[in-house]
Protein backbone atom coordinates (compact mmCIF):
# COMPACT_ATOMS: atom_id res chain seq x y z
CA UNK A 1 0.00 0.00 0.00
CA UNK A 2 1.31 3.49 -0.82
CA UNK A 3 1.83 6.04 1.92
CA UNK A 4 -0.50 9.02 2.14
CA UNK A 5 1.20 12.24 0.99
CA UNK A 6 -1.38 14.06 3.09
CA UNK A 7 -0.51 12.35 6.37
CA UNK A 8 3.05 11.01 6.04
CA UNK A 9 4.65 14.22 7.33
CA UNK A 10 2.49 14.30 10.47
CA UNK A 11 5.34 13.18 12.81
CA UNK A 12 7.39 16.20 11.69
CA UNK A 13 4.45 18.51 12.38
CA UNK A 14 3.97 16.98 15.83
CA UNK A 15 7.65 17.50 16.62
CA UNK A 16 7.48 21.12 15.45
CA UNK A 17 4.52 21.76 17.74
CA UNK A 18 6.36 20.21 20.70
CA UNK A 19 9.17 22.65 19.96
CA UNK A 20 6.68 25.49 20.40
CA UNK A 21 6.03 26.34 16.74
CA UNK A 22 2.57 27.16 15.44
CA UNK A 23 1.81 25.00 12.40
CA UNK A 24 -0.78 26.07 9.85
CA UNK A 25 -2.30 22.86 8.52
CA UNK A 26 -2.96 23.33 4.81
CA UNK A 27 -2.15 19.69 4.09
CA UNK A 28 -5.52 18.09 4.78
CA UNK A 29 -9.12 18.77 3.78
CA UNK A 30 -10.40 19.25 7.32
CA UNK A 31 -12.52 22.41 7.18
CA UNK A 32 -12.87 24.68 10.20
CA UNK A 33 -16.46 25.37 9.09
CA UNK A 34 -19.01 24.49 11.78
CA UNK A 35 -21.11 21.35 11.32
CA UNK A 36 -24.81 22.20 10.80
CA UNK A 37 -26.55 22.50 14.16
CA UNK A 38 -29.43 20.32 12.98
CA UNK A 39 -27.02 17.38 12.60
CA UNK A 40 -25.39 17.92 16.00
CA UNK A 41 -28.78 18.20 17.67
CA UNK A 42 -29.95 14.93 16.12
CA UNK A 43 -27.04 13.07 17.70
CA UNK A 44 -27.47 14.83 21.05
CA UNK A 45 -31.18 14.00 21.08
CA UNK A 46 -30.81 10.34 20.12
CA UNK A 47 -33.40 8.67 22.35
CA UNK A 48 -33.15 4.94 21.67
CA UNK A 49 -31.82 2.86 24.56
CA UNK A 50 -30.05 0.50 22.14
CA UNK A 51 -27.62 1.47 19.38
CA UNK A 52 -28.62 -1.15 16.84
CA UNK A 53 -27.27 -2.39 13.56
CA UNK A 54 -28.94 -0.81 10.58
CA UNK A 55 -29.77 -2.57 7.32
CA UNK A 56 -26.50 -3.24 5.49
CA UNK A 57 -27.57 -0.70 2.85
CA UNK A 58 -28.38 1.87 5.53
CA UNK A 59 -31.55 2.95 7.29
CA UNK A 60 -34.43 3.08 4.83
CA UNK A 61 -35.53 6.50 6.08
CA UNK A 62 -32.06 7.90 5.36
CA UNK A 63 -31.93 6.31 1.92
CA UNK A 64 -35.32 7.79 1.07
CA UNK A 65 -34.09 11.17 2.29
CA UNK A 66 -31.00 10.89 0.11
CA UNK A 67 -33.12 9.93 -2.89
CA UNK A 68 -35.22 13.07 -2.39
CA UNK A 69 -32.02 15.15 -2.21
CA UNK A 70 -30.80 13.75 -5.54
CA UNK A 71 -34.23 14.20 -7.11
CA UNK A 72 -34.12 17.88 -6.10
CA UNK A 73 -30.96 18.15 -8.21
CA UNK A 74 -32.64 16.66 -11.26
CA UNK A 75 -31.38 13.10 -10.81
CA UNK A 76 -33.88 10.29 -11.26
CA UNK A 77 -32.80 8.23 -8.25
CA UNK A 78 -34.89 5.89 -6.09
CA UNK A 79 -33.90 4.83 -2.59
CA UNK A 80 -33.12 1.27 -3.76
CA UNK A 81 -30.58 2.66 -6.24
CA UNK A 82 -28.24 3.86 -3.52
CA UNK A 83 -26.46 2.36 -0.56
CA UNK A 84 -25.11 4.04 2.56
CA UNK A 85 -21.43 3.45 3.23
CA UNK A 86 -18.82 4.17 5.88
CA UNK A 87 -17.63 7.37 4.23
CA UNK A 88 -17.02 8.03 0.56
CA UNK A 89 -13.86 5.93 0.85
CA UNK A 90 -15.81 2.74 1.44
CA UNK A 91 -18.20 3.70 -1.37
CA UNK A 92 -15.32 3.85 -3.83
CA UNK A 93 -13.78 0.63 -2.51
CA UNK A 94 -17.11 -1.16 -2.94
CA UNK A 95 -17.56 0.32 -6.42
CA UNK A 96 -14.12 -0.78 -7.59
CA UNK A 97 -14.50 -4.27 -6.15
CA UNK A 98 -18.01 -4.64 -7.55
CA UNK A 99 -17.25 -3.52 -11.11
CA UNK A 100 -13.65 -4.60 -11.71
CA UNK A 101 -11.70 -7.80 -11.21
CA UNK A 102 -8.11 -8.17 -10.10
CA UNK A 103 -5.84 -7.25 -13.00
CA UNK A 104 -8.33 -4.87 -14.62
CA UNK A 105 -7.43 -1.26 -15.36
CA UNK A 106 -9.00 2.08 -14.49
CA UNK A 107 -8.11 5.34 -16.25
CA UNK A 108 -7.82 8.36 -13.95
CA UNK A 109 -6.85 11.92 -14.96
CA UNK A 110 -3.90 12.96 -12.81
CA UNK A 111 -3.23 14.56 -10.41
CA UNK A 112 -5.96 12.77 -8.47
CA UNK A 113 -6.93 12.17 -4.85
CA UNK A 114 -3.99 10.20 -3.48
CA UNK A 115 -6.07 7.45 -1.89
CA UNK A 116 -7.31 6.36 -5.33
CA UNK A 117 -3.91 4.69 -5.59
CA UNK A 118 -4.44 2.90 -2.29
CA UNK A 119 -8.02 1.87 -3.11
CA UNK A 120 -6.89 0.47 -6.46
CA UNK A 121 -3.98 -1.38 -4.88
CA UNK A 122 -6.24 -3.02 -2.30
CA UNK A 123 -8.64 -4.08 -5.07
CA UNK A 124 -5.84 -5.48 -7.24
CA UNK A 125 -6.55 -2.93 -9.97
CA UNK A 126 -4.01 -1.12 -12.16
CA UNK A 127 -4.28 2.66 -12.46
CA UNK A 128 -3.65 4.03 -15.97
CA UNK A 129 -3.05 7.76 -15.46
CA UNK A 130 -3.84 10.34 -18.11
CA UNK A 131 -1.85 13.54 -17.69
CA UNK A 132 -3.32 17.00 -17.27
CA UNK A 133 -1.30 20.20 -17.04
CA UNK A 134 -1.11 23.04 -14.56
CA UNK A 135 -0.56 25.34 -17.56
CA UNK A 136 -4.21 25.05 -18.66
CA UNK A 137 -5.67 24.62 -15.19
CA UNK A 138 -5.77 20.79 -15.40
CA UNK A 139 -8.40 20.65 -18.18
CA UNK A 140 -9.39 17.24 -19.57
CA UNK A 141 -7.10 16.04 -22.38
CA UNK A 142 -8.44 15.40 -25.92
CA UNK A 143 -10.49 12.24 -26.41
CA UNK A 144 -7.77 10.55 -28.45
CA UNK A 145 -5.50 10.64 -25.38
CA UNK A 146 -8.05 8.48 -23.55
CA UNK A 147 -8.41 6.08 -26.45
CA UNK A 148 -4.65 5.53 -26.57
CA UNK A 149 -4.84 4.06 -23.05
CA UNK A 150 -7.84 1.77 -23.53
CA UNK A 151 -7.01 -1.94 -23.70
CA UNK A 152 -8.96 -5.16 -23.27
CA UNK A 153 -8.32 -4.83 -19.51
CA UNK A 154 -9.75 -1.32 -19.24
CA UNK A 155 -13.04 -1.43 -17.36
CA UNK A 156 -13.59 2.09 -16.01
CA UNK A 157 -12.75 5.79 -15.95
CA UNK A 158 -12.68 7.59 -12.59
CA UNK A 159 -13.01 11.34 -12.09
CA UNK A 160 -13.46 13.66 -9.12
CA UNK A 161 -15.77 16.58 -9.87
CA UNK A 162 -15.08 19.21 -8.59
CA UNK A 163 -11.59 17.86 -8.24
CA UNK A 164 -9.37 17.03 -5.33
CA UNK A 165 -6.50 18.09 -5.46
CA UNK A 166 -6.92 20.63 -8.29
CA UNK A 167 -10.34 22.19 -7.69
CA UNK A 168 -11.07 21.61 -11.37
CA UNK A 169 -14.75 21.64 -12.38
CA UNK A 170 -15.69 19.58 -15.43
CA UNK A 171 -17.74 21.29 -18.11
CA UNK A 172 -20.85 19.79 -19.70
CA UNK A 173 -18.88 19.23 -22.92
CA UNK A 174 -16.16 17.34 -21.06
CA UNK A 175 -18.68 15.15 -19.26
CA UNK A 176 -20.47 14.39 -22.53
CA UNK A 177 -17.10 13.48 -24.05
CA UNK A 178 -16.54 11.02 -21.20
CA UNK A 179 -20.05 9.66 -21.70
CA UNK A 180 -19.32 8.98 -25.36
CA UNK A 181 -16.06 7.18 -24.49
CA UNK A 182 -17.54 4.92 -21.84
CA UNK A 183 -20.49 4.01 -24.04
CA UNK A 184 -18.27 3.34 -27.05
CA UNK A 185 -16.06 0.94 -25.09
CA UNK A 186 -18.71 -0.26 -22.59
CA UNK A 187 -16.87 1.03 -19.52
CA UNK A 188 -18.03 2.20 -16.11
CA UNK A 189 -17.74 5.90 -15.31
CA UNK A 190 -17.09 6.50 -11.62
CA UNK A 191 -17.58 10.09 -10.43
CA UNK A 192 -16.49 11.19 -6.96
CA UNK A 193 -18.91 14.09 -6.43
CA UNK A 194 -18.41 14.81 -2.74
CA UNK A 195 -17.68 18.52 -3.39
CA UNK A 196 -20.70 19.16 -5.65
CA UNK A 197 -22.06 22.02 -3.48
CA UNK A 198 -18.80 23.96 -3.70
CA UNK A 199 -18.75 25.55 -7.17
CA UNK A 200 -17.75 29.18 -7.64
CA UNK A 201 -17.97 32.19 -9.96
CA UNK A 202 -21.45 31.30 -11.15
CA UNK A 203 -20.41 27.83 -12.31
CA UNK A 204 -22.84 24.97 -11.77
CA UNK A 205 -22.12 21.33 -11.04
CA UNK A 206 -23.41 18.71 -13.45
CA UNK A 207 -23.60 15.14 -12.17
CA UNK A 208 -22.98 12.18 -14.43
CA UNK A 209 -26.43 11.06 -13.24
CA UNK A 210 -27.84 14.10 -15.09
CA UNK A 211 -26.50 12.76 -18.41
CA UNK A 212 -28.80 10.73 -20.65
CA UNK A 213 -27.70 7.28 -21.75
CA UNK A 214 -25.44 6.43 -18.80
CA UNK A 215 -27.93 4.41 -16.77
CA UNK A 216 -25.86 1.21 -16.97
CA UNK A 217 -22.45 2.90 -16.78
CA UNK A 218 -22.61 5.66 -14.17
CA UNK A 219 -21.61 5.11 -10.55
CA UNK A 220 -21.53 8.12 -8.20
CA UNK A 221 -19.50 8.29 -5.01
CA UNK A 222 -20.79 10.71 -2.38
CA UNK A 223 -20.14 11.70 1.22
CA UNK A 224 -21.37 13.89 4.07
CA UNK A 225 -17.82 14.70 5.17
CA UNK A 226 -17.11 17.89 3.24
CA UNK A 227 -20.68 18.91 2.35
CA UNK A 228 -21.62 19.34 6.01
CA UNK A 229 -18.12 19.69 7.47
CA UNK A 230 -18.43 16.52 9.53
CA UNK A 231 -15.52 14.41 8.29
CA UNK A 232 -15.46 12.28 11.44
CA UNK A 233 -19.04 11.10 11.10
CA UNK A 234 -17.87 8.63 8.39
CA UNK A 235 -20.98 8.34 6.24
CA UNK A 236 -21.18 8.33 2.45
CA UNK A 237 -23.05 6.50 -0.26
CA UNK A 238 -22.78 4.80 -3.63
CA UNK A 239 -25.44 5.66 -6.23
CA UNK A 240 -26.19 3.90 -9.52
CA UNK A 241 -29.15 3.16 -11.76
CA UNK A 242 -27.41 -0.13 -12.56
CA UNK A 243 -29.19 -2.55 -10.23
CA UNK A 244 -26.47 -5.19 -10.63
CA UNK A 245 -23.85 -2.76 -9.34
CA UNK A 246 -25.92 -1.98 -6.23
CA UNK A 247 -26.77 -5.63 -5.54
CA UNK A 248 -23.11 -6.62 -5.88
CA UNK A 249 -21.95 -3.77 -3.64
CA UNK A 250 -24.51 -4.91 -1.09
CA UNK A 251 -22.60 -8.20 -0.73
CA UNK A 252 -19.55 -6.24 0.40
CA UNK A 253 -21.78 -4.18 2.69
CA UNK A 254 -23.23 -7.31 4.28
CA UNK A 255 -19.71 -8.53 5.01
CA UNK A 256 -19.01 -5.38 7.05
CA UNK A 257 -22.51 -5.60 8.61
CA UNK A 258 -23.76 -2.00 8.64
CA UNK A 259 -22.69 1.64 8.35
CA UNK A 260 -22.41 3.62 11.63
CA UNK A 261 -25.70 4.39 13.37
CA UNK A 262 -24.81 7.81 14.73
CA UNK A 263 -23.32 8.79 11.39
CA UNK A 264 -26.61 7.98 9.70
CA UNK A 265 -28.57 9.87 12.37
CA UNK A 266 -26.42 12.95 11.69
CA UNK A 267 -26.51 12.42 7.93
CA UNK A 268 -30.28 12.15 7.77
CA UNK A 269 -30.74 15.26 9.89
CA UNK A 270 -28.17 17.15 7.82
CA UNK A 271 -30.47 16.81 4.80
CA UNK A 272 -32.55 19.53 6.50
CA UNK A 273 -29.63 21.98 6.51
CA UNK A 274 -30.95 25.37 5.31
CA UNK A 275 -29.72 26.87 2.04
CA UNK A 276 -28.39 29.86 3.96
CA UNK A 277 -25.74 27.57 5.48
CA UNK A 278 -24.33 26.74 2.04
CA UNK A 279 -24.60 30.33 0.84
CA UNK A 280 -22.45 31.46 3.77
CA UNK A 281 -19.97 28.59 3.37
CA UNK A 282 -19.53 29.17 -0.36
CA UNK A 283 -18.98 32.90 0.14
CA UNK A 284 -16.35 32.12 2.75
CA UNK A 285 -14.55 29.62 0.51
CA UNK A 286 -14.53 32.07 -2.40
CA UNK A 287 -12.92 34.70 -0.16
CA UNK A 288 -10.36 32.18 1.07
CA UNK A 289 -9.63 30.95 -2.45
CA UNK A 290 -9.07 34.45 -3.78
CA UNK A 291 -6.86 35.37 -0.83
CA UNK A 292 -4.77 32.23 -1.25
CA UNK A 293 -4.44 32.10 -5.03
CA UNK A 294 -3.81 35.81 -5.45
CA UNK A 295 -1.29 35.74 -2.61
CA UNK A 296 0.55 32.74 -4.01
CA UNK A 297 0.76 34.15 -7.53
CA UNK A 298 2.34 37.33 -6.15
CA UNK A 299 5.28 35.28 -4.84
CA UNK A 300 8.12 35.16 -7.35
CA UNK A 301 8.34 31.79 -9.12
CA UNK A 302 5.00 30.41 -7.86
CA UNK A 303 2.26 29.29 -10.28
CA UNK A 304 -1.25 28.55 -8.98
CA UNK A 305 -4.34 28.27 -11.22
CA UNK A 306 -7.61 29.53 -9.74
CA UNK A 307 -9.89 26.58 -8.87
CA UNK A 308 -13.57 26.64 -9.84
CA UNK A 309 -14.68 24.29 -7.08
CA UNK A 310 -13.88 22.26 -3.94
CA UNK A 311 -11.37 23.88 -1.55
CA UNK A 312 -7.98 22.81 -2.87
CA UNK A 313 -5.37 24.30 -5.13
CA UNK A 314 -2.21 22.92 -6.70
CA UNK A 315 0.73 25.30 -6.63
CA UNK A 316 4.02 24.88 -8.49
CA UNK A 317 6.94 26.15 -6.41
CA UNK A 318 10.49 27.16 -7.40
CA UNK A 319 12.01 24.28 -5.40
CA UNK A 320 14.06 21.21 -6.29
CA UNK A 321 11.74 18.77 -4.50
CA UNK A 322 8.43 19.62 -2.86
CA UNK A 323 8.56 16.75 -0.38
CA UNK A 324 11.98 17.82 0.87
CA UNK A 325 10.72 21.38 1.05
CA UNK A 326 7.60 20.37 3.00
CA UNK A 327 9.74 18.46 5.50
CA UNK A 328 12.21 21.36 5.74
CA UNK A 329 9.32 23.72 6.55
CA UNK A 330 8.52 21.60 9.60
CA UNK A 331 12.02 20.64 10.72
CA UNK A 332 14.20 23.67 10.07
CA UNK A 333 12.11 26.72 9.26
CA UNK A 334 9.97 29.16 11.18
CA UNK A 335 8.88 32.75 10.66
CA UNK A 336 7.97 34.47 13.92
CA UNK A 337 7.83 30.97 15.41
CA UNK A 338 5.24 29.90 12.82
CA UNK A 339 5.36 27.55 9.85
CA UNK A 340 3.00 25.67 7.57
CA UNK A 341 2.29 22.12 6.49
CA UNK A 342 1.49 21.32 2.86
CA UNK A 343 0.93 18.09 0.95
CA UNK A 344 3.63 17.25 -1.64
CA UNK A 345 1.79 16.78 -4.92
CA UNK A 346 3.90 13.91 -6.28
CA UNK A 347 1.71 11.58 -4.20
CA UNK A 348 -1.31 12.75 -6.19
CA UNK A 349 0.23 11.48 -9.42
CA UNK A 350 0.61 7.90 -10.57
CA UNK A 351 3.28 8.74 -13.15
CA UNK A 352 6.72 8.72 -11.56
CA UNK A 353 8.49 12.05 -11.63
CA UNK A 354 5.35 14.14 -12.05
CA UNK A 355 4.45 16.83 -9.54
CA UNK A 356 7.87 16.78 -7.88
CA UNK A 357 7.86 20.59 -7.44
CA UNK A 358 4.13 20.99 -6.74
CA UNK A 359 2.13 21.02 -3.51
CA UNK A 360 -1.56 20.71 -2.75
CA UNK A 361 -2.91 23.40 -0.45
CA UNK A 362 -6.31 23.11 1.25
CA UNK A 363 -7.82 26.51 1.99
CA UNK A 364 -9.72 25.23 5.00
CA UNK A 365 -8.45 27.75 7.56
CA UNK A 366 -9.79 31.22 8.35
CA UNK A 367 -8.50 34.14 6.31
CA UNK A 368 -6.15 35.46 8.98
CA UNK A 369 -4.49 32.05 9.28
CA UNK A 370 -4.29 31.74 5.49
CA UNK A 371 -2.58 35.12 5.20
CA UNK A 372 -0.08 34.17 7.92
CA UNK A 373 0.61 30.89 6.09
CA UNK A 374 1.20 32.76 2.81
CA UNK A 375 3.63 35.09 4.60
CA UNK A 376 5.46 32.06 6.01
CA UNK A 377 5.69 30.45 2.58
CA UNK A 378 7.04 33.63 0.98
CA UNK A 379 9.76 33.91 3.61
CA UNK A 380 10.54 30.18 3.41
CA UNK A 381 11.10 30.34 -0.35
CA UNK A 382 13.67 33.09 0.20
CA UNK A 383 15.65 30.89 2.59
CA UNK A 384 15.18 27.34 1.27
CA UNK A 385 18.59 26.00 0.14
CA UNK A 386 17.01 23.97 -2.66
CA UNK A 387 15.32 26.90 -4.39
CA UNK A 388 15.64 26.86 -8.19
Do 108 and 177 reside in the same domain of the chain?
yes
- The contacts of residue 54 (CB under 8 Å, 6+ apart) are 84, 258, 259, 261, 264
- What's the pLDDT score for residue 3? 78
Q: Is the Cβ–Cβ distance between 24 and 334 less than 8 Å?
A: no
10-residue mean pLDDT profile of the chain (388 residues): values are 82 96 95 96 97 97 98 97 98 98 97 94 96 93 91 98 97 95 97 98 97 96 97 97 98 98 98 97 98 98 97 98 97 97 94 95 97 98 96
For residue 3, being part of any structural domain is answered with no
Do 290 and 265 reside in the same domain of the chain?
no
Among the three residues 246, 270, 294, which one is the final residue of a domain in this structure?
270
- What's the pLDDT score for residue 230? 97
Q: What share of the chain is helix, strand, coil (3-state, %, to 5)?
A: 40, 15, 40
Do 155 and 249 reside in the same domain of the chain?
yes
Do 128 and 240 reside in the same domain of the chain?
yes
Q: Give just the sign of the alpha carbon dihedral 202, 360, 315, 111.
A: negative
- What's the pLDDT score for residue 267? 98
Do 154 and 291 reside in the same domain of the chain?
no
- What's the pLDDT score for residue 262? 98
Parent domain of 333: 10-34+276-383
Query: How far is Cα 38 from Cα 25, in angstroms, rounded to an integer?
Result: 28
Do 30 and 146 reside in the same domain of the chain?
no
Q: Domain total for the chain?
A: 2
Do 201 and 288 reside in the same domain of the chain?
no
Query: How far is Cα 154 from Cα 258, in angstroms, rounded to an integer?
Result: 31
- What's the pLDDT score for residue 202? 96
Do 185 and 74 reside in the same domain of the chain?
yes
Among the three residues 219, 249, 270, which one is the final residue of a domain in this structure?
270
Query: How far is Cα 233 from Cα 88, in angstroms, rounded to an integer?
Result: 11
For residue 103, being part of any structural domain is answered with yes
What CATH number has the domain bearing residue 247? Answer: 3.40.640.10
Query: How far is Cα 297 from Cα 306, in angstroms, rounded to an integer?
Result: 10
Asked if residue 162 has a cis previous peptide bond (ω within 30° of 0), the answer is: yes
> 88: number of CA atoms within 13 Å, CB side?
21
Do 91 and 157 reside in the same domain of the chain?
yes
Q: Is the Cβ–Cβ distance between 142 and 178 less than 8 Å?
A: no
Among the three residues 251, 270, 289, which one is the final residue of a domain in this structure?
270
Do 20 and 73 reside in the same domain of the chain?
no
Do 104 and 222 reside in the same domain of the chain?
yes
What CATH number has the domain bearing residue 309? Answer: 3.90.1150.10
- What's the pLDDT score for residue 2? 82
Query: How far is Cα 130 from Cα 127, in angstroms, rounded to an integer?
Result: 10
Do 88 and 121 reside in the same domain of the chain?
yes
Query: How far is Cα 30 from Cα 26, in angstroms, rounded to an integer?
Result: 9
Amino acid sequence: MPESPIRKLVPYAEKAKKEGKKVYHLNIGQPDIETPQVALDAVKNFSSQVVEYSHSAGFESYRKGLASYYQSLGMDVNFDELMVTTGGSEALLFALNSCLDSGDEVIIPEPFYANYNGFSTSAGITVKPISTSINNGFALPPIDEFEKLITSKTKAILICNPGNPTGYLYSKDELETLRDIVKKYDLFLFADEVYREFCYDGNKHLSILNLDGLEDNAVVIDSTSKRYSMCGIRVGCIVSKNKEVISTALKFAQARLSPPTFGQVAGEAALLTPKSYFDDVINEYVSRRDLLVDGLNKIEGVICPKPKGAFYAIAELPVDNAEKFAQWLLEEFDFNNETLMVAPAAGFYSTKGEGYNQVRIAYVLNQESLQNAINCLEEALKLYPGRI
